[in-house]
Structure 1
Amino acid sequence: MTTASRPGARRAEPKPSAARAWFAKVEPAKVWAAEKLAEARDAAAKRSESGSSGSKGPKSATWRRWAKLSAKVALVGFLALALIGSVTAIVAYNRIQVPDPNAEFEVETSFVYYSNGKTELGRYQDGDQNRIKLEADEIPEMVKHAVVAAEDRTFYENSGVDVKGILRAAFSNTTEGTSGGASTITQQYVKNYYLSAERSYSRKLKEAVIALKLTRQKSKDQILTDYLNTIYFNRGAYGIEAAAKAYFAKPTKDLSLSDTAALAAILNNPAGFDPASSKFRGEEKLLGRYQYVLSGMVALGYLKQVEADKVKDALPKFPAKTVPSRLGGQRGHALTMIKAELLGLKGADGKPLFTEEKIDSGGLRITATLSPKVMKASASAAKTVKPKNRKAYVPGDPEQKNALHVATASVDVESGALLGFYGGQDYLDSQHNWAATGGHAGSTMKVFATAAAIEKGYSLKSTWAGDSPFTTYAGSEVVNEGEQAGVADGMDYGQHITMLKAMEQSVNTAYIDMTESMGGPQAGRKAIYDTAVAAGLAPAKPNPKFPGIPSTTTDFDHKTDDRIALGRANVSPINLANAYATIANGGYRHDVHVVKKVRDRAGNVLYSWNGTKNGRHAMSEDIAADVTYAMQGVVQSGSGQKAQSIGHPVAGKTGTATCGGSQHVCTSWFAGFTPQVATAVRYSRGNGEGKLDGGWMPSYFGADYPTETWAAIMAKAMEGKEAESFPEPVYVDGQDPESGHEEQLIAPPPPPEEDKECDPIAEFFGACGDDKGRDDRRKHDD
């Protein structure tokens, strides 16, 4: 290993005997101490002579003899003590071992990056310790030279302990009443990394012995590197790299000469020399220390005087100290999800790959799947599209009954990677991530009922009950939307309507008929449940084969929920976006995930997402094509028409759900996809079941705010991507499980009628031919 040193300096070769090495270092100090004692004795004798000038009698002769005797006794005593001290030091050297490092100085900040692997998303750290370790060759020589000039100018020559310095400090402290230290860089490193700041002779002895041993075990350059990775600079920054970023917002490699000298000066008194500290001693004192560093660099041959003169008269400009929250905005939500996923990862042996301690203090470099562009677009859309009078967080409202939660999630179709999300509000206001929280799915669940029915043998041309109300096998009534507009028992769409029309117009009665016609009500409910879980919705109970964010879906019971197709289940936007991505991907599912790769500080890959291992078919490619075609009808002719604004082919589904005995609208959705990206948007209030209708929102329909929010996100997410086409429909047609759903049952269209004035209610629901404002509604018992 190459050892950096100042010009002309050579490190002595290690001596074979530790004892002889100690004697060799102590002997000059003993001589120096004897000289100092002799000087003190002579000074005392002179004072004695001057005080008794003119007296040359027997008394003065006796005094001189007594003084000489006392000096000899003192010298002998000192030498004896020195010998005893030497022997004691040798014994201590042999008995004191280098201990294990202090745990807190072993920690290193772990960094999380966006999907590009360069832009920092956030970090994990143990408490307040922000530490970024560097290798020896990553620290510029200029930085090493400045620190040596500031803290220990004999660093490359001393043995780790400056014995003369220690005795000089002790002598000065005793005779002059001053208080000063004599720690070398090695001793400072030992104190921080191995020992403590305790003030005692025993600790000082241990420090000296360990410093001597380390000097024999490590190169000077390695000791200096370790020192620069552990020393504290204030501002929560441990080590030179964290300090460079905390003070000058740049990495160590980009520090200028003045930046470097200033940081080296701050080391002497981190709190007192930090310009942003409340204990700052003033610019004049910092400037003096700064100039001391520069002059030392010149004296040691590290720097030319002309270079020092260019910067010596003024300190560098310190950027205004900023304290960006590590968790503010969506960072806290993102870091929480990322850590949860890391803790759930297991190796081939079934053991966890990462512990919380490793994540917080292991110096990991984590690349997330999140795109800075999509994250920014999600936050912007959630904040700007919503009604201006509704807030994501309401101060003074502990239950947040009047908070509007806009939750979004975008997933990459080909990989299942979570590209972006919006958790409903700033993490500092509330740690509840609504993008990872279930809410009643409403009519967005009809997509999975469509896929299940085709799998069972029906086709897009099969027919279903379109008139309202519809009596279920259990005797309860299901109605279509329209009651709130004054249409008794909901809208009628015809005795028999195709699956395509049922999807386009989101006809509740048709989907209950569909559910009960897949081999019986129970078999139909189970088929819808299995299809939804296979595509990407989390199951009712945790199952490692079907993970999700979160890992379960509440109120998702195929055994008792006879209206499962109408979306009582509490689905998160993240899981719904991933399930729709499966359909967009030809029925091939990838688990949704937020961690792309994990490396250690040295760059070794500890984990990497394996798309091949985590992918599998959830439905056939032909069924996915037919479902996609049906969903395109929603965007082209149904309630999702505002999604067309992004200029790409879109397939999607709106949804609203009702809650409570009053059957008020509590969630409003739009979820859809292009061939590349799937996004889900949900609006909810308060605890997730607050009332959206009745005037609280200007519009509670999924066709409005949710679809507009979706379009704003996707317009940015699709920038730079080619407009790809969806596959043509296959019209998969198997054997109908039950009769009575044939296409032929649809009555031929009646002859054209003369134009007549349209009924206002029919006009509201788009039944007048050219009205495109229809949206879906659905009701169920909570």
Structure 2
Amino acid sequence: MLLAYFVGLIGLAAGAFYALYLYVDVPGEGNKAAQAQSNVYKNQKGEIIARLGEVNREEVPLSKVPKDVQNAVVAAENKNFWTDPGVDLKGTARGILNTVMGRGKQGGSTITQQYVKNYYLDQRQTVSRKVKELIISLKVQDKKDKTEILAGYLNTSYFGRNASGIQAASRAYYGKDVDKLSLEEGAYLAALLQAPSQYDWGTATDAGKRNVEARWNYVLDKMVEQKWLDPEKRKAMKFKPPGQPKPPAGLTGQNGYLVQAAREEMIRDLKRQGRPESDFAAGGWTITLSIDPKKQAALEKAMKNQLLDDLDPKAREVDGHVQPGAVSVDAKTGHVVALYGGQDFLKHQLSNATRGDYQPASTFKPLILASALQNESKTQGGQPITPSTTYDGTNKRPVVGPGGDGFAPENEDGYSKPAVTVQQAMNDSVNTVFAQMAVDVGLAKVKKTAVELGMKSDFEEVPSMSLGSMGASPLEMAGVYATLDNHGKKTTPSIIKSVSWKGENYKLPNPVADERVVSRNTADGVTSVMTGVVEDGTANVVASGRYQVAGKTGTSDDDKSAWFTAYTPGLVTSVGLFGEGQGGKQVTLQGTGGGGRVNGGTYPAKIWAAYTSSVFDDEDDDAKFELETQDKYVPPVAPARTPSGNASPGASKSPSGTPSGTRSPSSSSSGSPSGNTRSPSTGPSHHTPPGPTSSSSSGNPPKPTNSGGTGGDPNTRPNGGVNPPPPSF
């Protein structure tokens, strides 16, 4: 009878287990805690800038874990892992008995069982949980390969120092990625699995240190026993303690702005692929930024020396309203190499580098010229629009033509000249000329070109857009100018150098497109004209004998924003200053630093010059632009009149060594890039034949005046240069 009872009991237990085996299924997915990961942001050197997420975990494939480190973990936790059935029945039975008897947590589980506990279940010590663990482990063993199980175990196990998974543990204890671990380091991490908190060398007691060192030796000895480690090599190994715990990387200073920009870019790309933002929020992303530490430090230093040191909010209220931002882009790669979002992310979390709520002002003017050249546009009088076309630059001159609507902008400081070339109008930032040019080209065409170059499309096609009345960010304007620097190839700045998700590479689009959005002749023609702004215009403060610069200043109404965006042949940088009052209200920058007006040629240009000058030696690019232009884009220039009335060539020859198509400093007075001029004998220029070049409201040619403070001869510029002849009507 006793035997019958015993056999019956065994049968009932077997039947109950079989019923449970059929009833308990492997969950469709792991628990949220096991899947939650952090997103890691690194600089170009691989140093962590920030780690964001509730759980410090970063999944990696098993191929990223060195084989020696894999063997160390298996030797420590389950030496028969590769051949066992996935469960330890005796160990599980012992654990259930001890739980029933209240003896607390007991070991004995296989790696498969621990993986199931970590990934599918939880850490509670109950009989029902242990039975589920056993059944699910048997099923997982049949469904998954051993390598997949080991990878899951390594990615879900807790190693102490708030590190879940072996990649986070490698960073926490050794400051390196898991694929860089040595066997000795891997053996220490394997030893930690037994008691993560007690065995952390940085916080362990003397007893804990002795125990973890003993466990480290045990791990290596087991590897020798399994023939995974040469005995002689084992004898030579000495225990080396890991580094001390380091505080988590924070978001202070510029870090927050860098991380914010990278996060926004990643979310944009996921949406481009039709994936939800939640895919990024779930974690597991490792993002290496393209930020160059040297250039980043140089930009921050330029901001401090050229602007911040002048500010005293306690003495001047306006100084507390100044919000500076800047973005610097490598023209060849399209990658952001430096970014300045504000004085401290924790104090002002809206990035001034990426905000698009302030007007870019006159930095928009080169886009109007680009559209004119690209579309081979003509003036109201039927003359081609080129850098040497003569326009009426009279102050408050009403725009004429379809869509002009009587718009009559005011020129800065009342600048007023009845005859000015497009080149000189760009140099001096003459509003009336570009307002008329935008209408001549067609507002819709101007907007189309601007969007193709990289501006957002959310602005109206109105005459005032010619003055940059829409919103834009330094990042956006840096992209537009980078497209010009890249000879018309669309450049969308990216702050991300590389991305991996759960250890696998994630491909982002190339920041520099293969195809051009405007022709090379158009882009290079605009670049040539913008060198004049630096050599003989509003941005002459940045002129350098070491490298050529093409750029444009910009100042919005009431000095609420001031800009300087410019580029050398290899580096594009946009600097903006924004007046932000209480509640985000846009306020004037006048009086900043105890001075008067703030325009693009003051603080922004000085910051740009200090930064670019300090990093130029780091560039591999030539000092001069390699421009290709044609006569129809940069046409010949008629002889300009000297103050005595005698004709002289419109531009001097390029200095020795200047690439074909580039502007020489001596040519800026005429407005024609060198290398594209003809001698007077080749024929008259395009603006001498009869027919209007730019219409006035009355239709009559205005008489030369001395308005604008030129003084003396009406054809003589204040700097001693010579104005072109007045337009023909």
Alignment of 1:590-629 (within 5 A): 590-594=491-495, 606-609=507-510, 615-618=515-518, 620-629=519-528
**Other-structure match for 2:599:** 701
Rounded to whole Å, the distance in 2 between the matches of 1:240 and 1:274 is 15
Rounded to whole Å, the distance in 1 between the matches of 2:511 and 2:717 is 50
**Other-structure match for 1:56:** none
Rounded to whole Å, the distance in 2 between the matches of 1:188 and 1:319 is 28
Instruction: Measure how far apart 1:666 and its partner are.
Output: 1.4
Judge conservation of contact 2:38–2:54 (CA < 8 Å) in 1: no
Q: Percent identity?
A: 28
Letter in 2 for 1:571: A
**Other-structure match for 2:28:** 100
Instruction: Measure how far apart 1:149 and its partner are.
Output: 4.8
2:349 partner SS: coil
Please list the CA deviations of residues 459-512 of structure 1 after superposition, one character each: whole Å capped at 9, or x if unmatched.
333333344454566777644333xxxxxxx344x4322222222222334444
Q: Does 1:589 align with 2:515?
A: no
Rounded to whole Å, the distance in 2 between the matches of 1:256 and 1:588 is 45
Instruction: Measure how far apart 1:110 and its partner are.
Output: 5.8
Rounded to whole Å, the distance in 2 between the matches of 1:296 and 1:510 is 79
Change (3 A) 1:85 1:682: same
Match of 2:257 among 326, 330, 342: 330
Match of 2:110 among 184, 205, 213: 184
Match of 2:425 among 502, 510, 514: 502
Alignment of 1:111-126 (within 5 A): 119=46
Please list the CA deviations of residues 214-236 of structure 1 after superposition, one character each: whole Å capped at 9, or x if unmatched.
44555655533432222111333
**Other-structure match for 1:558:** 461
**Other-structure match for 2:548:** 649
Letter in 2 for 1:537: M
**Other-structure match for 1:480:** 411
**Other-structure match for 2:692:** 739
**Other-structure match for 2:620:** 720
Alignment of 1:287-306 (within 5 A): 287-295=210-218, 297-298=220-221, 301=225
Rounded to whole Å, the distance in 2 between the matches of 1:682 and 1:297 is 59
Instruction: Measure how far apart 1:376 and its partner are.
Output: 4.5
Rounded to whole Å, the distance in 2 between the matches of 1:623 and 1:145 is 62
**Other-structure match for 1:345:** 272
Judge conservation of contact 1:442–1:567 (CA < 8 Å) in 2: yes
Change (3 A) 1:401 1:539: farther
Instruction: Measure how far apart 1:430 and its partner are.
Output: 3.0
Instruction: Measure how far apart 1:388 and its partner are.
Output: 0.7
Change (3 A) 1:220 1:326: farther
Please list the CA deviations of residues 538-564 of structure 1 after superposition, one character each: whole Å capped at 9, or x if unmatched.
222xxxxxxxxxxxxxxx4333xx443
Instruction: Measure how far apart 1:284 and its partner are.
Output: 1.4
Rounded to whole Å, the distance in 1 between the matches of 2:453 and 2:145 is 59
Instruction: Measure how far apart 1:358 and its partner are.
Output: 3.3
Q: Does 1:690 align with 2:587?
A: yes
Judge conservation of contact 2:201–2:241 (CA < 8 Å) in 1: no
Q: Does 1:386 align with 2:304?
A: no
Match of 1:677 among 550, 565, 571: 571
**Other-structure match for 1:193:** 119
Judge conservation of contact 2:553–2:600 (CA < 8 Å) in 1: yes
Rounded to whole Å, the distance in 1 between the matches of 2:97 and 2:260 is 59
Change (3 A) 1:286 1:491: same
Match of 1:442 among 361, 369, 374: 361
Rounded to whole Å, the distance in 1 between the matches of 2:494 and 2:67 is 43
**Other-structure match for 1:50:** none
**Other-structure match for 1:409:** 327
Letter in 2 for 1:385: Q
Q: TM-score, normalised by structure 2?
A: 0.74
Change (3 A) 1:175 1:330: closer
Give ranges in structure 2 of 5+ residues lacking alignment. 379-383, 636-684, 696-700, 722-729
Letter in 1 for 2:412: E
Rounded to whole Å, the distance in 2 between the matches of 1:746 and 1:461 is 19
Please list the CA deviations of residues 586-642 of structure 1 after superposition, one character each: whole Å capped at 9, or x if unmatched.
4443445556766665756655438557x3433x44444443332222111222123
Rounded to whole Å, the distance in 1 between the matches of 2:88 and 2:301 is 61
Match of 1:264 among 176, 185, 190: 190
2:320 partner SS: coil
Letter in 1 for 2:69: V
Judge conservation of contact 1:109–1:123 (CA < 8 Å) in 2: no
Judge conservation of contact 2:560–2:578 (CA < 8 Å) in 1: yes
1:668 partner SS: strand
Change (3 A) 1:381 1:655: same
Rounded to whole Å, the distance in 2 between the matches of 1:769 and 1:177 is 94
Change (3 A) 1:761 1:283: farther
Larger radius of gyration: 1
Rounded to whole Å, the distance in 1 between the matches of 2:409 and 2:98 is 95
Q: TM-score, normalised by structure 1?
A: 0.69
Please list the CA deviations of residues 136-160 of structure 1 after superposition, one character each: whole Å capped at 9, or x if unmatched.
x543454344434543456567543
Give ranges in structure 1 of 5+ residues lacking alignment. 1-71, 347-351, 483-489, 541-555, 660-664, 751-758, 772-782
Rounded to whole Å, the distance in 1 between the matches of 2:428 and 2:124 is 77
Judge conservation of contact 1:287–1:315 (CA < 8 Å) in 2: no
Change (3 A) 1:649 1:227: same
Match of 2:280 among 354, 359, 367: 359
Alignment of 1:519-538 (within 5 A): 525-538=443-456
Please list the CA deviations of residues 14-70 of structure 1 after superposition, one character each: whole Å capped at 9, or x if unmatched.
xxxxxxxxxxxxxxxxxxxxxxxxxxxxxxxxxxxxxxxxxxxxxxxxxxxxxxxxx
Rounded to whole Å, the distance in 2 between the matches of 1:338 and 1:737 is 53
**Other-structure match for 2:532:** 633
Change (3 A) 1:186 1:709: same
Instruction: Measure how far apart 1:524 and its partner are.
Output: 5.1
Rounded to whole Å, the distance in 1 between the matches of 2:527 and 2:102 is 89
Rounded to whole Å, the distance in 1 between the matches of 2:17 and 2:74 is 27
Change (3 A) 1:120 1:737: farther
Letter in 2 for 1:228: L
Rounded to whole Å, the distance in 2 between the matches of 1:319 and 1:227 is 26
Alignment length (residue pairs): 633
Judge conservation of contact 2:327–2:336 (CA < 8 Å) in 1: yes
Letter in 2 for 1:337: E
Cα RMSD (Å) of the superposition?
4.4
1:679 partner SS: strand
Change (3 A) 1:219 1:458: closer
Judge conservation of contact 1:408–1:679 (CA < 8 Å) in 2: yes
Change (3 A) 1:760 1:275: farther
Please list the CA deviations of residues 706-747 of structure 1 after superposition, one character each: whole Å capped at 9, or x if unmatched.
1122223434266222223343673348799971549xx899
Change (3 A) 1:447 1:121: farther
Rounded to whole Å, the distance in 2 between the matches of 1:179 and 1:535 is 65
Judge conservation of contact 2:393–2:430 (CA < 8 Å) in 1: yes
Letter in 2 for 1:506: S
Change (3 A) 1:761 1:310: farther
Rounded to whole Å, the distance in 2 between the matches of 1:88 and 1:272 is 40
Change (3 A) 1:258 1:155: same
Rounded to whole Å, the distance in 1 between the matches of 2:51 and 2:204 is 32
Judge conservation of contact 2:291–2:338 (CA < 8 Å) in 1: yes
Change (3 A) 1:448 1:257: closer
Rounded to whole Å, the distance in 2 between the matches of 1:578 and 1:177 is 66
